[in-house]
Amino acid sequence: MNILIVAAHPDDEVLGCGGAIAKHTQQGDIVHVLILAEGATSRTPQRDRKKLQNELSALAEVAHQASEILGVTSLTLHDFPDNRMDSCDLLDITKVIEQEIVQYQPEIIYTHHIGDVNIDHCRIHQAVVTATRPMPGSTVKTLLFFEIASSTEWQTPGSAPAFVPNWFVDISETLSLKLEALAAYESEMRPWPHARSVAALEHLARWRGASVGVEAAEAFILGRRVIS
């Protein structure tokens, strides 16, 4: 199968579904990763790509390293403004995703949950749902929404739809690869007990696994599934 991961920032693809990516590639599936926002530039008062060019280049290099660890076939990085994607026209984001769908003809797409604190995650969710509207002839049969530690669970009750997973992928055999890919993103990880620490991500995978009776799992919300 052809699989497409649509993520906001470098590291989101691993945080959200790194174990599932590795499982797909080990099974012989072709996985393409699309990362839309640049990362890093929201950490300064003004967006200044030139000033942060070295950091952005290093982050892109790490994204490629993580993709190699997980066995990804292709990685595409765009430069939408970090944590400012609400300033971009939804149509412009949607068209980039549509181009990827036309090029790679994915059967499964993984992307962000709508209820995250991070505005880029919400915006990309909207764009993916728009790009995957069920037109005749669409190759997309399954649409899955992932959680991002340090964003999804930080949303307060009632402020947005809660992440209530109904789809689990057993990553007992690929958790080590997910953790290795996360470790590659050293600049994006935080020390325990931060929610975006390698230790916290392992605990989350173990808890999601225990929730469904396996050693480790990633949890998703099923957006749509078409069975022929």
CATH number at residue 86: 3.40.50.10320
Domain extent, residue 132, equals 2-225
State which H helix or E strand residue 79 sits in.
Answer: strand 74-80
* The total number of structural domains that make up the chain: 1
C-alpha span between 154 and 158 (Å, rounded): 12
- Beta strands at 2-7 and 30-37: parallel, antiparallel or unpaired: parallel
C-alpha span between 21 and 207 (Å, rounded): 19
pLDDT in tens, the chain (228 residues): 999 999 999 999 999 999 999 999 999 999 999 999 987 666 666 666 676 778 888 899 999 999 999 999 999 999 999 999 999 999 999 999 999 999 999 999 999 999 999 999 999 999 999 999 999 999 999 999 999 999 999 999 999 999 999 999 999 999 999 999 999 999 899 999 999 999 999 999 999 999 999 999 999 999 999 998
Beta strand spans in 25-118 (E): 30-37, 74-80, 108-112
